[in-house]
Amino acid sequence: MMDLFPLSRRALVGGLSLSPFILTSARAQTLGFGDYPFTLGVCAGDPAPDGFVIWTRLAPRPLEPGYGMPMKPVAVDWEVAEDDGFKTVIAKGTQVAPPELGHSVHVEVAGLKPGRSYWYRFHCAGQKSLTGRAATLPAAGAKVEKVRFAAVGCQHLEYGWYTAFRHAAQEDLDFFFHYGDFIYEASNGFQLDDHHQPITPVRRYLGGEPFTIDAYRLRYAQTTLDTDLQAARAAHPWFCTYDDHEVQNNWAGDQDQNGTAPELFITRRRMALQAWYEHMPVRRATLMRDGTVDFHKRADYGDLVRLHLPNTRLYRTDQPCGDNYQLACAAQTAPGAQMINPEQEAWLNTGFAQSHQQWQGLAQQVMMCPLDRRNPDDTRTAPLFNMDSWAGYQAQRERLFALFGRSRNVVVVTGDEHQNFANDLMLGSRIVASEFVSTSITSGGDGHDVRPGNERWMADNPFLKWTNDRRGYVVSEITPGSWVGHYRTVEAVSRRDMPISTAASWAVEASKTGLVRA
């Protein structure tokens, strides 16, 4: 792949003798760039059998205009070692951090051994970053006995402390899957929890709702300064996706929720997703030449599991029936309505058909299970659906369920709902897959063991096996014989340093259908 931000040929003459237009570490100090540049930490992601991406962003004063950086390219040294003491450095180099991308650094490390851990760090301006841990994927077809990963996301800064991230950093994991809502665009003001009750924010976002690249960068910087989050980002490699709040609540394709002209919304979307790219350990191909930030990717963990990660926002048609919780309407079953574009749907069909792995995993952003969401006081006789979930896109959802039915051992991992759910996915009367829905890190506030009103959801939806309203994450533990979802929760996010516990564990057994208690 061509390097979009290479060192010039002149820069490489004589080893690392750099162009005078690029600030070296020594020159950065003499030009007023002397503060610690790695305030936002480090992260690795998008692993492959021979490498991964390592990320940082230079921001000595991340909450100030210009974030303490000269508006020039800056050279950053990096190194990867086989040990956390860096006694055996096996790859190193210099990468330019361009001001056009917020002085972010995305190094695509290659040429490594499959199926093992590595450690990495950066150097700039005489300073050294935190050390992060990365890992390569197993070799193609390798025998793998276990994979463990945590599904995380929905981390509104104002709603609580990121204690769950600190606990997740200490888990024995192969990777994190971030399902989106890394930031929230909601401006400062009165906050309500998921029961529409007022809560006291534990901290405040700086500035109002973001519409510019600098405003979005501020949101990411303030979020990423959190040391519990930094610990998780340094501990394990990440697969990162985005959902709606990285731009605006419930956006779909070129439509926002306010009826903004599409050409204006696309301008905002481009800036918002560039800021997402600048803060995620993703490959440069994610940032396309026209400024679009897109992804759909696949990861194979040997012979054990193939994980597919689609994009359910960028190509989505407008939510049907008026969006949010609605009764069914004709648009809900429209054959042309789509959550993912035809390219991704064909990609999924091919990926499932060609897989030889024991398990097929679909890690994506919004719930697939079409829950009837009527509350206990609702006297309507027809189901109520969340039109911002797959329930609003019935024709495409049923095509995917048919794909699941033609495949073996399919598990879906989802976020967005700010609750835990354990669902079986039905095509007619047949179970074709199961779904682990992970709660939020903080969004919605402290919550309850069971959200008030969900007793009716349990009664009205026989394929819903369990639900819980605490904050945390889901750890998937995959072996040849089972895929177990461990629902890890904290009692409160309004107080720091709360302990973590397992609220429940549910399992899918290989070659069987349906969730069982683990």
Domain CATH code at residue 455: 3.60.21.70
1 domain-assigned: no
The single residue listed with the structure tokens 């997703």 is 273
What gap in Å lies between CA 39 and CA 262, rounded to an integer?
36
What's the confidence (pLDDT) of residue 477? 98
Alpha helices, H only, 337-406? 342-354, 394-406
- Residues 408 and 480: beta-carbon distance below 8 Å: no
Q: Which of 105, 135, 165 is the last residue of a domain?
A: 135
CATH number of 31's domain: 2.60.40.380
Are 26 and 35 a contacting pair, CB within 8 Å? no
Query: Got the DSSP string for 420-461?
Result: EEEEEEEETTEEEEEEEE---SSTT-S-BSS-TTHHHHHHH-
| pLDDT for the residue numbered 16 | 37
Whether residues 130 and 226 fall in one domain: no
Question: Do both 166 and 131 map to the same domain?
Answer: no
Domain count, the chain: 2
- For all residues of the chain together, what is the average pLDDT? 93
Q: Are residues 459 and 362 in the same domain?
A: yes
121 and 162 share a domain? no
Q: Check whether residue 232 and residue 120 sit in a common domain.
A: no
- Residue 154 zone, left/alpha/beta (φ > 0; ψ -120 to 50; rest): left
Question: What domain range is 27 assigned to?
Answer: 9-135
Question: pLDDT value at position 28?
Answer: 63
Furthest C-alpha separation in the chain: 78
Residues 130 and 169 reside in one and the same domain: no
**Are 153 and 131 found together in one domain?**
no
- Judge contact between 252 and 318, C-beta under 8 A: yes
Instruction: Using the 3D structure, point to which of 109, 135, 161 is the last residue of a domain.
Output: 135
pLDDT at 12: 31
394 within some domain:
yes
Q: Looking at residue 187, what is its pLDDT?
A: 67
Q: Which residues of the chain have pLDDT under 70?
A: 1-21, 23, 25-33, 187-190
Whole-prediction pTM: 0.94
Domain assignment of residue 141, yes or no: no
Instruction: Look at residue 3 and tell me if it is in a domain.
Output: no
- To 5 degrees, how large is the angle CA 237–CA 239–CA 243? 145
Which residues have C-beta within 8 Å of that of residue 31, sequence separation ≥ 6?
A: 23, 70
* Residue 4 within any structural domain of the chain: no
Backbone angles phi, psi at 424, to 5 degrees: -95, 145
Q: In angstroms, rounded to a whole number, what is the distance separating the alpha carbons of residues 342 and 322?
A: 24
> Is position 270 within any domain?
yes
Neighbours of 389 (CB within 10 A): 23
Q: Helix, strand or coil for residue 20?
A: coil
The full length of the chain comes to: 518
Same domain assignment for residues 64 and 177: no
- What pLDDT, on a 0 to 100 scale, did the predictor assign at position 379? 94
Provide the CA 450 distance to its chain's centre, in angstroms. Answer: 25
Residues 120 and 171 in one domain: no
* 151 and 248 in a common domain: yes
Using CA atoms, how far apart are residues 168 and 233, in angstroms rounded to an integer? 10
Same domain, 175 and 214: yes
* Domain identity same for 74 and 172: no
CA–CA separation, 47 vs 281, rounded Å?
10
Sheet containing 430-437: give its strands across.
297-301, 305-309, 359-363, 410-414, 430-437, 420-427, 464-468
Q: Which of 112, 135, 158 is the last residue of a domain?
A: 135
pLDDT of residue 176: 98
The pLDDT value recorded for residue 20 is: 54
